[in-house]
Structure 1
Amino acid sequence: MKEDLIFERYSRQIFIEEIGVVGQRKIMNSKVLIVGAGGLGSPVLQYLAAAGIGRIALVDFDQVELHNLNRQVIHSENQLHVSKTKSAADYINQHNSTIDFQPIQLKLEADNATEVLAPYDIIVDCCDNFKTRYLLNETCVRLNKPLVYGSIYGFEGQLAVFNYQGSKHLLDLFPTAPSPEQVPNCDKNGVLGPLPGIIGSMMAMQVLKMAAGLPVDCNQLTLVDTYHWRFTKLSF
């Protein structure tokens, strides 16, 4: 893309004193991996692509289903039963075709996690199960990569940044994973659509701040209760 078009596209970010041309160049040179193309992954992908992250990879092995559409806003009725990575690629091509987008259609497992995560600067946890969440944390700690974590349930969400510039990680907050039967999930308990939009947007903001070299709060868990409209930060 020509420099004048780059400036025009991203001018409202460049005009921010703390970002400027230097920060925008850092954003455009960043490589981000998103794990999960669902409720959280959708807004994260939208805002990172809109901001001009240079390379975005998306890991998912699922297909678009009708019940996804109340919250997974990158997908549409036209893409029912299409892989979520293909649907996401279609979205990227329409919204910002300059992005180097890498769809990765697979299930993240212990035997492939290192290879998948290694090429990227920042990892974003948008998954929906604790097995993958703990695997991501373990791999990021081993590879010394920052991990942006988010989770949602009903009206409530959580957000944290792990393993960034020597900060604490998931095991410092939750040393052991709960058993699967103890964990509520959207399939059984539901989620109101805007909640992942709120949490996902907050996650994208943390990614962009890291990419631009801006300060990021670490060793803190942000709790969002949209039913009572309460926002709480807990240090750990």
Structure 2
Amino acid sequence: MSSYGLAAKLALEKAFRENRAVIWGCFVADRDSEGLHIFTYFKGREWQELGQLLPPRNLPAPHFHDPVLGIISGGLALEETKNFLMGHAVSPELITYRRKTIPRFSGNHAVLVVGAGALGNFVGLGLAFSGFSNLTFMDPDVVEPTNLNRQIFFYEAVGQNKAAALAERLNQHYQTRACGLVGYFGEDTDLTPYNIIIDCVDNFETRVILSEKAKEHGKMLISGGTGVAAGQMITYDPDLDGSTPAELLGLPEIVRQRGSGSYDRNRLSCISQPNPAVVMTNQIVAGLMVDACRQLLAGRRPPNLFYENAAIMR
């Protein structure tokens, strides 16, 4: 992930001569936009575009860095590494993410993150890196040993409530003023104290309630979901009067067809999920969610994004 041209050239030269692979990532920025590139090089991929992506400076010099773009690029690079080592197809194209430059803003916005599992862990990390300090996490579940492979802040926290443990770790490492609420998000949850809501839950029923409450109270909402190899990030801005995430995904109808008796909260914790999402998908989608949060607070409308690690265009 070096920003120095000489290091990148040496790595590519070594890979060419020794028939090795290089998973290469870099940040890009100009006057009004910022973003990242990820590319997997191995012998035979000497593309013309590769030379255009090499950093312009050979030796160390001041360069652009953004911690949230770092979370996204790190997840994408790890996904490419996993696919290459396991003999799966890597991206046949340059992976690119780019958006307009985000102005600096106050980190005093009150943020409610509903769900403190794998997605919530990486969202919390991204918010802390971005300077948000007034954070509230809500989750009824406790940390289980099976969570530890992808819920990065829960080392030595087995048996503790997830929301409380995550808030404690962020306060300890990043000097945030985070707090944890033990419980479920429901129709009686008070949204008055919060400027923006981030949905990291693992069930459709709660997602529907989150969308309905955000629309009712005029709150910005960012909804993210992940599977083993795919995920999505959808936003709602009440000032634009668009569809909510639940409406866009057709979740109210799905929940209605299931019936009121099909959802058992006590059994739907992460420990019982048959296909828990792997760490890279959560890292990528969480980074996109935090970046969307910053864009919404800057008065912009980020696009809804869908990610699949096996797609030709990620």
TM-score in terms of structure 2 length: 0.60
Note the C-alpha offset of 1:198.
Answer: 0.7
Q: Give per-residue Cα distances to partners, 1:102-124, cap 9 Å, x unaligned.
A: 211111222x22x1x22101100
Note the C-alpha offset of 1:66.
Answer: 0.9
Q: Give per-residue Cα distances to partners, 1:31-63, cap 9 Å, x unaligned.
A: 110000001101100110121113111001111
Greater relative contact order structure (CA < 8 Å, 6+ sep): 1
The range that moved more, 161-170 or 99-108, is 161-170
Query: Does residue 166 of structure 2 align to residue 88 of structure 1?
Result: yes
Larger gyration radius, structure 1 or structure 2: 2
Query: Does residue 185 of structure 2 align to residue 108 of structure 1?
Result: yes
Residue 228 (structure 2) aligns with: 154
In 2, Cα distance between equivalents of 1:68 and 1:227 = 25
In 2, Cα distance between equivalents of 1:121 and 1:214 = 13
Q: Please tell me whether the aligned partners of residues 225 and 231 of structure 2 are also in contact (alpha carbons under 8 angstroms).
A: yes
Provide structure 2 residue ranges, at least 5 long, that are not aligned to the other structure. Answer: 1-63, 67-99, 264-269
In 1, Cα distance between equivalents of 2:197 and 2:139 = 14
Q: Could you tell me the percent identity over the aligned residues? A: 26
Find the partner of 2:289 among 203, 214, 235: 203
Q: Please tell me whether the aligned partners of residues 48 and 208 of structure 1 are also in contact (alpha carbons under 8 angstroms).
A: no
Find the partner of 1:29 among 108, 116, 124: 108
In 2, Cα distance between equivalents of 1:80 and 1:194 = 22
Note the C-alpha offset of 1:195.
Answer: 0.7
**Which amino acid letter does the alignment assign opposite residue 84 of structure 1?**
K
**Which amino acid letter does the alignment assign opposite residue 107 of structure 1?**
Y
**Which amino acid letter does the alignment assign opposite residue 75 of structure 1?**
F
In 1, Cα distance between equivalents of 2:102 and 2:225 = 28
Note the C-alpha offset of 1:227.
Answer: 2.9
What's the secondary structure of 1:206's corresponding residue? helix
In 1, Cα distance between equivalents of 2:158 and 2:312 = 33
Find the partner of 1:171 among 236, 240, 247: 247
Find the partner of 2:313 among 223, 230, 235: 230
Q: Please tell me whether the aligned partners of residues 137 and 167 of structure 2 are also in contact (alpha carbons under 8 angstroms).
A: no
Alignment of 1:5-20 (within 5 A): 18-19=101-102
In 1, Cα distance between equivalents of 2:102 and 2:306 = 27
Residue 40 (structure 1) aligns with: 119
In 1, Cα distance between equivalents of 2:170 and 2:228 = 28
Q: Please tell me whether the aligned partners of residues 168 and 179 of structure 2 are also in contact (alpha carbons under 8 angstroms).
A: no
Note the C-alpha offset of 1:217.
Answer: 2.4
TM-score in terms of structure 1 length: 0.78
Q: Please tell me whether the aligned partners of residues 30 and 53 of structure 1 are also in contact (alpha carbons under 8 angstroms).
A: yes
The alignment's C-alpha RMSD in Å is: 2.4
